[in-house]
Structure 1
């Protein structure tokens, strides 16, 4: 695959990866890319079933209606999706895992030290890619290599948000009652879909995690929280 320079279409969403389930949400919030093939919906990062692994998930182009809207949604060959991992605590990516579509497959590169950091990237073809056929709603495909597992395709949107209630709270029409408990809340994203890119990676390939950012900032005493990678995702469009 030819090396191609790509520029950031959206900055990304930051997380400290702990042994718990964490998300950062963005659905159609970025005006420059809302409704485009580079629009990030969510970043998920959590401990795998194997506690020595970390699972990274980027979802795009949501929310998608079920049926033809989801079936017709496509990853863009001009958009690179990049998981960025900081393992020194300076919030600069030390490793990247890249995903880019070619034909009916998603090609993954990394984890590898990036040639460039920040808003510009080069597809890291110095490492051998792993290809997985892009799944459909009826045909789920995965690929494994070097202890890693890869997936790309449509998935149910896992984000939960009572959007209608949020608008009521924001307008003050239900104050001071506020939000409803989970059993009574109406999930706006129920039955909506996204395009998902999933990587499960052994922590041994990521290296030692830095001191948790909250500990480093003095918000917690040393040792109060486990070390944690800083992770964010970005989409970068070919220029």
Structure 2
């Protein structure tokens, strides 16, 4: 078992059948410019309506030139946390950690411990997928009813930052339609897992958050 300490996390409350997002692009001082910087998390219903998809994006604002050299940090454990009973404590976790061009997944499983420390769940269901290189078609893998992806993707988050600044400064009162996408042409590193809803209770509301845990 390897002990890791949380460096950064994002929290999102979502219904299993509804897509919600949380965004944070390089503005958290503790992780600014680091490989542990989580930009967005997403949860939405899969094309198969019995499934739900979870996404964690890292290392925002990568230019095309920088994306080719960007990589997942092998000293970082990414953990998808699921609170199933509304007490804001994780009941199930799905962990992802990269090794030599492959992203390994463990879970979902009950965590060995909750809160600020996490351990690699070596006794949980293990899955893996090759990390897709920049510019190549998506490589996916399936195991135990789940599907996985890891690699660079175009940043899907839309934000008209110039107009937002104008509104904050009192120089405008509303967003333009259409607006200007500040993040157009920039990339992120994505980790995606699709799983049956039955793995998380089947229906109802969950609390979902993602943490990047650095090895001590």
Same fold (TM over 0.5): yes
Q: Comparing 11-20 with 46-55, which one deviates more in the overlay?
A: 11-20
**Shift of residue 208 of structure 1?**
4.6
Higher strand share: 2
Residue 196 in structure 1 maps to residue 194 in structure 2: no
What does 1:108-147 correspond to in 2, within 5 Å?
A: 108-136=105-133, 137-147=135-145
Residue 86 in structure 1 maps to residue 83 in structure 2: yes
Structure 2 gap ranges (5+): none
Of residues 9, 16, 19 in structure 1, which corresponds to 2:14?
Answer: 16
Residue in 2 that maps onto 1:220: none
After superposing on structure 2, the runs of 4+ consecutive aligned residues of structure 1 that deviate more than 3 Å are: none
Of residues 4, 7, 18 in structure 2, which corresponds to 1:6?
Answer: 4
Q: Would the aligned equivalents of 1:15 and 1:24 in 2 still touch at CA under 8 Å? A: no
Whole-angstrom CA distance in 1 between matches of 2:15 and 2:184: 26
**SS of 2:68 mapped into structure 1:** helix
- C-alpha distance after superposition, 1:163-218 (max 9, x if no partner): 111111111122xx32112x2x0000111110000000101111255xxxxxxxxx
Whole-angstrom CA distance in 2 between matches of 1:94 and 1:169: 41
**Shift of residue 20 of structure 1?**
2.1
Structure 1 gap ranges (5+): 210-226
Residue 50 in structure 1 maps to residue 48 in structure 2: yes
Whole-angstrom CA distance in 1 between matches of 2:32 and 2:171: 28
Q: Comparing 39-48 with 138-147, which one deviates more in the overlay?
A: 138-147
Residue in 2 that maps onto 1:26: 24
Q: TM-score, normalised by structure 1?
A: 0.87
Q: TM-score, normalised by structure 2?
A: 0.96
Residue 206 in structure 1 maps to residue 185 in structure 2: no
**SS of 1:72 mapped into structure 2:** coil
What is the root-mean-square deviation of aligned Cα atoms in Å?
1.1
Residue in 1 that maps onto 2:169: 171
- C-alpha distance after superposition, 1:24-60 (max 9, x if no partner): 1111121110110000000000111111111000000
**Shift of residue 140 of structure 1?**
2.1
Of residues 98, 109, 124 in structure 1, which corresponds to 2:95?
Answer: 98
Whole-angstrom CA distance in 1 between matches of 2:42 and 2:10: 12
